[in-house]
Structure formats: C-alpha cells, structure tokens
Amino acid sequence: MKILVTNDDGIYSPGLSCLAKVAAAHGEVIVMAPDIEQSSMGQAITSGKPITYKKSPTHFEGIEAYRVTGTPADCVALGTHLFENIDLVLSGINIGSNLGNSAWHSGTLSAARQAVLFGIRGIALSVSVGEDEPDFDALKPFAQAALKEVINENERRLLNINFPRNPNGEIVWTSQSVRQYDGKIMANEDPMGREHYWFTVIPIEPEEDGSDRWAVKQGKTSITPMILDLTDQKYLNERSKEQNRT
C-alpha cells in the first residue's frame, strides 16, 4: 500500500512523524506537509500563486519527506500528482482535537477530505490536548490500534479519528456532534494599546450520546465516518413534494 501522510501543524510537528512511523507498518510512506503551521485553514487551496516543495531531512527515520509552501489541501493535490498510485492519505496526528463542528475549520480533516475528492481514501487523526504537548510515544500504540481497525477497508471513505488525552483503549464508532457552536470574538489590547481580537469556539451545549465529543470525553478513541454530500435531504424532500403539488 502506498500512503501519503500530511498534516496542518507543519512538517516539524511531532504528531506528523509519529503518524508517518505508525503508517510505515502498513506500506510505503511518503510525507508531504506544509512548511509552516496551517491550522484552521480548512480546505483552502493556493490558486493565485505557485507552490513549491523541498526535500525535508531528519526526524522521519528514513521515510521520504517533503515540505510544501502551501495548505494541507495543496499538499494532498501535489503529493497525489507527483507520486502515482497513492492508496490512502493520512492526516495528523493533529495537536488538538477535531470534534463536532470543528470539521468545518480543520485543516487536518480537510486534507483527508481533499483526498476523498480525488477518489482516494482519507483518514484524519487528532489528539486532545491540555496544558502540555501530547506524549506521542505514549499515543503510538493507540494510533496503531485505531489504524489497524480501519486500514483494510476498501471504500473511498472519509474517516475522522480523535484520541482523548489519555486513551482507555476502547475504540468506538461515533456520529459527528452537531450541537455546540459558539464562535465568539474576544476583544483585547496589544502592548501598544491598540484593540485586537481573537476568534474562539466554545461548546455551549452538552454533547449528544454516541457522538465524537461524547466518546473522547469518556476516554474512548472516536472514529466518525463522514460524507461529502451537504444536501439537506429532509428539506429537499419537503420542497420537492410541494413542487409536485403545484
């Protein structure tokens, strides 16, 4: 199996090298990741200027790695263009969870989604964080277990995997939590006394049972299968019925 590994935290993230090493047990791995952090960039692509890439040495223990002057989605586009027959794109392991509505902003998940748009399987992996950076050595066996659970599926499916800070070893299939969203602007002042703003997202509702947020809160590893069709089918059916009556 030929696996392209990318992320949105950038080429130097310890989560990326952890994922590349875990993936190497399942086939040939090529790493192609942004040269700088691209978190919360969603599925942005670089369309107004060219993108370039350079071979990136060190911390991958012999795994071929490149850094790209672009977004996570660009990395997937360039990687699948340069290296033929990629079977699977893995994105992560992101430092910070990608649960619920963060699916809209997440560069990590968007890289996996970009793969699915190209007709390739895409899997995003993220870990919750507290005060400290996650311990990727400790997380490795849990990442291995989660990947083992899904690696042999053949469908071109998008999967969003989230690890809690301290996984209890249980893996559950979940739905995306759609409650919660409060995108809030926090005003503050810079050292020069000028006003500036932070955009932050705070959960405002309790999570649904069986959802990704619920699972991670319980210490379980969450796997959410996702689809790309954004159509509101229920509403479409209602409107279609009305249309047929007139």
- Catalog residues that contact Mn ion under the rule CB under 5 A: 8-9, 39, 94
* Smallest gap from residue 108 Cβ to Mn ion (A): 6
CB-based closest residue to Mn ion? 39
3-class DSSP state for residue 87?
coil
Which one, 8 or 207, has the nearer CB to Mn ion?
Answer: 8
Angle between helices 136-150 and 14-23 (to 10 degrees): 40
Q: Please give the Cα distance from 95 to 16 (Å, whole number).
A: 10
And the tokens for 3?
């696996």
Which one, 56 or 94, has the nearer CB to Mn ion?
Answer: 94
Count of beta carbons in the 10 Å neighbourhood of residue 60: 18
Which one, 168 or 199, has the nearer CB to Mn ion?
Answer: 199
Which one, 79 or 96, has the nearer CB to Mn ion?
Answer: 96
Residue type, 66: Y
DSSP 151-196: TT--S--EEEEEE-SS--S-EEE-BPP-----EEEEEEE-TTS-EE
* Smallest gap from residue 25 Cβ to Mn ion (A): 24
* Smallest gap from residue 41 Cβ to Mn ion (A): 9
- Going through the chain in order, the beta strands assigned E by DSSP cover 2-6, 28-34, 53-55, 64-68, 88-95, 121-127, 158-163, 171-173, 183-189, 195-201, 221-226
* Smallest gap from residue 186 Cβ to Mn ion (A): 20
Among the listed residues 176, 156, 172, the one whose alpha carbon sits nearest the alpha carbon of residue 164? 172
* Smallest gap from residue 107 Cβ to Mn ion (A): 6
Which one, 110 or 222, has the nearer CB to Mn ion?
Answer: 110
Which one, 161 or 187, has the nearer CB to Mn ion?
Answer: 161
* Smallest gap from residue 234 Cβ to Mn ion (A): 33
